[in-house]
Chains A and B, each alone.
Chain A
Amino acid sequence: MEQGEGGGAPPAMDYASFESYLDNFDTQSDLFDAYADLMQSYDPSAMSWGEQLALFDPDFAQMVLEASYDSPAMPGTENIWADMDFNADPWVLPPEQALYQAEMQVDFAPYLDAMQPDATAAVTADNSLADALSHWNQQDHPYSCAVATTEMILDGYGLDFSESDIAQVFQDAGIYDPQQGTAPTEIDETLNALFEHQGIGLEARELDNWQVSDLQELLDKGVRPLIALDAAETWPGSETSTLNEFMGIPDSGHAVQLIAIEDGPDGQVAVLNDPAAPEGKGMRVPMDTFLDACDDFGNLAIAVEQKAAGGEA
């Protein structure tokens, strides 16, 4: 365990005390409700987190801040809860059934017909790197990486869907929740339903356990796939930035667009359009790092290709 800045070992954890402390509550929810109320009312500009906890219960403050944690400092000074309404509907998450057991019975007409009258125009693809870079777009919401990546892919085919349009399509299909993200293995079915409805000559397909040669083959055809990976492994700031500065939990899944594989002086690099970071346009990641990050999610990719004359992509 790491040591505090003041030198010397941090106080030893005392979980026996913590356990006996929990026993003081009639139910666990009593404790959690009290703790949640405390967090909700916490104003960092008024007092430190430790002081706030001590007001709540000195014993709890002692055990949680000084025993369970090495560093009692609550980082940051902004009140992160200021923009939240804890009683608003968005915080009540939809049933899992509705989210994950998607039925392809989406009525696209209400918004798509008005939105994209020229969607049936001939789709084209330019497989130059400059073109790929021009379609980069930073995601609008914390969990909309797959939505934003899909927007980049379709934009590359000259289809001017906005991120909010695609988010609506994915939400209606039950595969995207702004609070949780997108179920990646349902993207191909959802997009194919959309393409069919709009008469767009594209077809999406899922690749599992892809090899680098599969990706290279797609790129050679001007197809830039969505890739599922662990963003913490590809993020350029991972060696210098702290967890407190990292947006989200490192173990969470992420979606990016692969736009090229290049040979560099230190070996191959994957060139990505990462929608999460301001510097995500054309981000270059060593191939070994990229492959490790993708392996965590079973080398999953979604490719959108032009349909051949016979109907096959």
Chain B
Amino acid sequence: MDLSPNEKRLLVLLDKVKTADPSALAAEMGVSPESVIQYAYLLADRGLCRVEKEVKTTYSLTEEGQRYASEGLPERQLLGSFNEKIPVQELTRHPLARIGIGQMKRKGWVVVRGGMVEKTGKDAPGEDELALRDLSRGGPGLAELRRRNLVTENLETRYRISVTPEGLDWARRGLDMSEEAGTLTREQIVSGSWKGLKLRKYSLKAPPRKIYPGKIHPYQRVIEEMRQILLCMGFTEIYGGIVQSAFWNFDALFQPQDHPAREMQDTFYLKETLPLPEGYERVRDMHLFGGNTSSTGWGGRWSREKAEQCVLRTHTTCLSIQHLATHPEPPVKAFCINRVYRREAIDPTHLPEFEQLEGIVMDRDVTFRHLLGFLKEFYHRMGFPGVRFRPGYFPYTEPSVEPEVFVPSLGWVEMGGAGIFRQEVTAPFGITQPVLAWGLGVSRIAMLRLGLSDLRLLYKSDIGWVRETPSWLHGPDTGVGGQKCR
């Protein structure tokens, strides 16, 4: 049983005086009587003292009552202001008439007859007047004075504090009376007085105050992990504009101008246009007849206006091809994780904007086998030991592949797409070496990592969720942690 210093001091005092009221103890301890009562109750809880509480009622005169006690009740004063009789009209001019006349009539001291107030002679002092002189008389007189608000009732609580045999026992066994301190002060630290200082102990039973640190959003943290993996693998990061010409977003990637993905229901078009780059004709020729490659091209027509029209980028591949166009010499290893836009209505699994990851490798003599090697390594580092491949289709890659990763809770899950850029894509920009490329929806991995089933939660952030999600992300299913830089 741990007693606070104040409880100890009180107990020591009680050992001397055995019993006392709080004010006496308070004077002795140099604290307020209220504090003494508080300490006493704490000791009483442990059975070391007894607190007796007595509630006593006392009465005192109000301000008005005090005046009447010295001058007499209004009716007595009024009665003394005239002889046997007086016209009512005259008496009403007296300042106490309003209260006095009624009271005199009620008590039978006067009668009113023919406009005259006449004394009856029966005006001996009543119980109320006696009580006014001595409140301790009590009785009906006091009740009457209370009714007239001349007396108030006061409840006085008195405490008696006495030590119990257990308390005496404790006190005699000796108490450690050294001071406890709540705070460690600079003075104590510097002077060395902390050495004799006893610091108050805190209870571990009370929960801590909850504080929330500033932090990076959990989804951004997943993205950062992926960035780190790719930077560690020697990839250069690409960044670029949200607004792209259809030329870079589609045409440069050999998407035919009548391709369904280019239609208005799938892509956010803008009324703005951007000029075509120098040498755009090589891309045009590729569409029309395959340029100078073994390709037949798409045939049909190719419209410059369609290529100039702006869109919100539908994939980050438009940034990859621009990077290649400005870096046509091997080797190139580049990546990009950024937001892309599709004209989709919002529901739990579709959003009009989301993040895409994209990586490209261009070098002499890289092959489809290397593409598969890269994919395996990348997904391993992402925390997916099981990776397999099957054929896929993407308009700008050939061959194309759909990687699948094994997620214990879900089985084999399709995870993005990959392939080697078609020559129709690379040739117009003077790129002569194969370009391995792959991309994936980052949100899908983030949802697995964060245990979410609704994509919208990643963006319409519930601060409560952000606060409660740990910054260190790991998990048996998809744990990236620890795989990052080897």
Q: Do A and B come from one complex?
A: no
Question: Which residues of B line the A interface, CB within 8 A?
Answer: none
Question: Which residues of A line the B interface, CB within 8 A?
Answer: none
